[in-house]
Structure 1
């Protein structure tokens, strides 16, 4: 199934789930569009009808018929704007507010019924998928802020999974690379010294979106490992923030230097390393998933004064 077909299939499925195609929403006389218009009037009181038309992308005649019905049923009142007599505004009546409250309650009840049939883990997956759709298809300028925090239960599994998926999709690195990541994460989970080693998860809108680890190379040297920024969170400065956190920790933990291993195809990461103060110390030919790569070692001396 191609991408366009998959999206259209999802649209048809979701409209059935939420009852968009039924005669009335939530067993009421109101369609989804009518309920949305009523909601926007209540959210913006007094609401300019031109703003609602633009927001919802409705035909002027169609919106006028909806508002006329609401006015006839006593749900709204309409009048000319006091600021601009050419513009019309609408407000809910008491009956309109009661109707809106009823629609809101039934909508919440229906969602609870849908989610109630799922396990806790499946509910988390559904909500995460919905959040991802809103994030990726919504306006780019409305990115949520991020937080940097220590790993929680389940995060280390996410680190392995996302490394495998992202590097597999973007560079074709296969099971061997994922196995390497698994070993690094497992060794950290089993043996890390909290005084000299740490890991961080970057979280965007409540979901993991990046990571980095600071581990002991030897008594004098820390190693930055497993830097990753999920594609959906790139462009937010997250990668640099994670690297800076790792360097700060290494300095406070008493290391004299910090090093890292990377590959030259990871241009975005390399730019961060150079900007923060790492210098290229060594490079050599290597191989990943049957393809040649250039391995690189970067080093930064740490001023502990």
Structure 2
């Protein structure tokens, strides 16, 4: 691991960080998860990358959350890293006969299979139904950390989430109210709730659906949504409603795959920035 790495004078962790930041939607917290590094190590590395002019921090409405992006120098550096890597592989393979490259491909495939069998399983994600200690604070943190960066939502949004949860949690004793959380390594990384009381008219309100960005694409969001909708159907609600806003494309695809349809949309500024707010409805599925 000594000497130049990927054609740069950067350490491997910094090279990896630059490539992750290139993909977009990255914060220091996300890097901690993806690089499996301690917060202090990531902070020191990011300070050096900022000082050398390779990355920049963009504060959101919540000053605690800063989005990372490549500067012009950073984009040039990452392009050179990709070029170096491609050149290394092409140069090495060009020196081999076709039969030898096939042998390498077979060997790598066998090694990958063996490695997968010998690697200890990752810490599992567990799902919890009902209240648990610290739930309100953690779910509020997940919401404001994501939406301040994603949409510029401000203190009004944080206050609304905190106030709504504070009102809802004591009502979990009602049979038509429930909340589910996903936990990894002792920390809540996702949540969803069904409030069966506030809308009335046999309509369930799907609320506080959030998954930590580090767990996006893992299926945790779908698992939480399916648990909530199974509860809705068991309770006999005729309709389930949720409110979101335009631009969350992955979430919309998930909603629509589970039977939600866009019912209405309008422009609003209630959370500190103008967004196209949307309501999705799902009718009860016949069994």
User: Which TM-score applies when normalising by structure 2?
Assistant: 0.55
Structure 2 unmatched runs, 5+: 1-27, 29-39, 46-119
CA drift at 1:182: 1.1
Aligned length: 172
Contact 1:257–1:299 (Cα < 8 Å) also in 2: yes
Contact 2:151–2:273 (Cα < 8 Å) also in 1: no
CA drift at 1:212: 0.4
Aligned to 1:148: 127
Contact 2:142–2:211 (Cα < 8 Å) also in 1: no
CA 1:206 to 1:256, structure 2 compared with 1: closer, same or farther past 3 Å? same
Contact 1:256–1:304 (Cα < 8 Å) also in 2: no
Distance 1:271 1:262 in 2: 13
Contact 1:285–1:293 (Cα < 8 Å) also in 2: yes
Question: Secondary structure of 2:147's match?
Answer: helix
Question: Secondary structure of 2:200's match?
Answer: coil
CA drift at 1:142: 6.9
Distance 2:151 2:209 in 1: 15
| Residue of 230, 233, 246 corresponding to 1:248 | 230
CA drift at 1:155: 1.2
Contact 1:254–1:304 (Cα < 8 Å) also in 2: no
CA drift at 1:191: 2.8
Contact 2:136–2:162 (Cα < 8 Å) also in 1: no
CA drift at 1:205: 2.6
Distance 2:264 2:140 in 1: 27
Structure 1 unmatched runs, 5+: 12-140
Contact 2:243–2:278 (Cα < 8 Å) also in 1: yes
| Residue of 261, 264, 284 corresponding to 1:282 | 264
CA drift at 1:266: 1.8
CA 1:236 to 1:182, structure 2 compared with 1: closer, same or farther past 3 Å? same
Aligned to 1:206: 186
| Residue of 240, 246, 253 corresponding to 1:264 | 246
CA 1:143 to 1:296, structure 2 compared with 1: closer, same or farther past 3 Å? farther
Q: Does 1:177 align with 2:157?
A: yes
Deviations 1:234-273 (A, max 9, x none): 1111111111111110111121111111111222211110
Question: Secondary structure of 2:274's match?
Answer: strand
- Tell me which of the two structures has the higher relative contact order, counting C-alpha pairs closer than 8 angstroms and 6 or more residues apart: 2
Q: Mean alpha-carbon deviation: is it higher for 195-204 or for 142-151?
A: 142-151
Is the radius of gyration larger for structure 1 or structure 2? 1
RMSD across aligned C-alpha pairs, in angstroms? 2.3
Contact 1:209–1:230 (Cα < 8 Å) also in 2: yes
| Residue of 153, 158, 166 corresponding to 2:138 | 158
